[in-house]
Amino acid sequence: MKKYQEVKTRSGSLDYITLKLNKKGTKIVLNEWFPKEEEDIKEFKADKKNDTREENFLTRVWPKFVAEMKKPVKGKPLPQYAVVLVLRAR
């Protein structure tokens, strides 16, 4: 829930999270989040400060999100859920 809270609002500190089922298939668990790497965090903070998160979404966030969703696990696609913050102009 903490990571979900970090992604769900304009003031949050994440652009997206991905979730998956645990091995038993009984619970949904956090899989990945973005930004995570130091360079991505710097870019996120700059976009947030300059109010350019929406403007740069297609170049900074979307390609990494698509790549994450396409990652196979042991050669097979991984069923996942995603929460993506989609900003709208004010």
CA dihedral of residues 1, 81, 20, 33 (deg, nearest 10): -60
Residues in the chain, pLDDT under 50: none
The model's pLDDT over 77-86, given as tens digits with 9 standing for 90+, comes to 666 778 787 6
pLDDT of residue 87: 60
45: helix, coil or strand? Answer: helix
pTM of the predicted structure, to 2 decimals: 0.74
pLDDT of residue 47: 93
pLDDT of residue 88: 58
pLDDT of residue 3: 82
Domain boundaries, the chain: 2-84
pLDDT of residue 78: 64
